[in-house]
Structure 1
Amino acid sequence: MSERFYLYDDVVSTKTRFVSFMGENQRFDLAIIQTDRYYGKQVVLDIQGGRFAIIGQDDLEEPNYLEEVFKLNSEDGQELREFLYEII
């Protein structure tokens, strides 16, 4: 077997917030990870849906970004966007 070639192998400290809230149509169970990586953006994990994205303010302003990444309808996407605007 050949030697493993790493592109990087770093250990970093993170701050993780676990939050669950009820929207009009669905429940959101999220883990929001803050780290020094990703140019100030945060990793947002949809725990139940098994999806994640690296999100910053610019991404929240991108039309239909959250809806596409997290497979949400426009109403649920807007609820998630409003919540993330408060914390990102």
Structure 2
Amino acid sequence: MSNIERLYDEAENAQVRFVGFVSGNQRYDYGIVYTNLFFGKPLVVCMQTGRSSLFSLEDVDNLEYIQQVFNLRSLEEAQQLALFFRHNLPAQSIESETEM
């Protein structure tokens, strides 16, 4: 245990949103954890697979990344999910919003 260097150990009350929707023949169930950690990027968790990633609006345009992270079958599915993220992720980080 002496070789472990703690990088961070933070506790906060985070806002969590659970969203389920259907697009085409695919059902999506996601949890979005809004936090001040990780530069204000929300943590997006697929409730079906447990796969997760930090996402911002800048990440939404990278369809290959979305497909890989959430193990989607096609770029079309990634495009549908990107459209959802584009309308449901904050335009700016929570940190910037609290400074205003």
Residues 31 and 47 of structure 1 are in contact (CA less than 8 Å); yes or no, is this contact kept in structure 2?
Answer: yes
- The residue number in structure 1 matching 2:56 is 56
Q: CA deviation at 1:5?
A: 4.7
Q: Which amino acid aligns with 2:82?
A: R
Query: Structure 2 vs 1, CA of residues 3 and 68 (structure 1 numbering), >3 Å: closer, same or farther?
Result: closer
Moved more, 27-36 or 68-77: 68-77
Tell me, yes or no, if the aligned pair for 1:25 and 1:76 is still in contact at 8 Å: no
**TM-score, normalised relative to structure 2:** 0.78
Structure 1 gaps, min length 5: none
Map of 1:2-17 to 2, 5 A cutoff?
Answer: 5-17=5-17
Give the structure with the larger strand fraction.
1
Aligned to 1:34: 34
- Name the SS for the 1:8 alignment partner: coil
1:48, distance to aligned residue in structure 2 (A): 0.5
Offset, 1:76: 1.1
1:44 matched residue in structure 2: 44
Q: Which residue in 1 is equivalent to 2:76?
A: 75
Identity, in percent, stands at 34
State TM-score, norm by structure 1: 0.88
Gapped regions of structure 2 (runs ≥ 5): 90-100
For the residues of structure 1 that align with 2:66 and 2:6, how far apart are their CA atoms?
31
Q: Deviations over 1:40-87 (max 9, x none)?
A: 211000011110010001111224111111011111111110001001
Relative to its length, the structure with more helix (as a share) is 2
Q: Distance between the aligned counterparts of 1:61 and 1:2, measured in 2?
A: 42
Contact in 1 for aligned 2:63/2:79 (Cα 8 Å): no
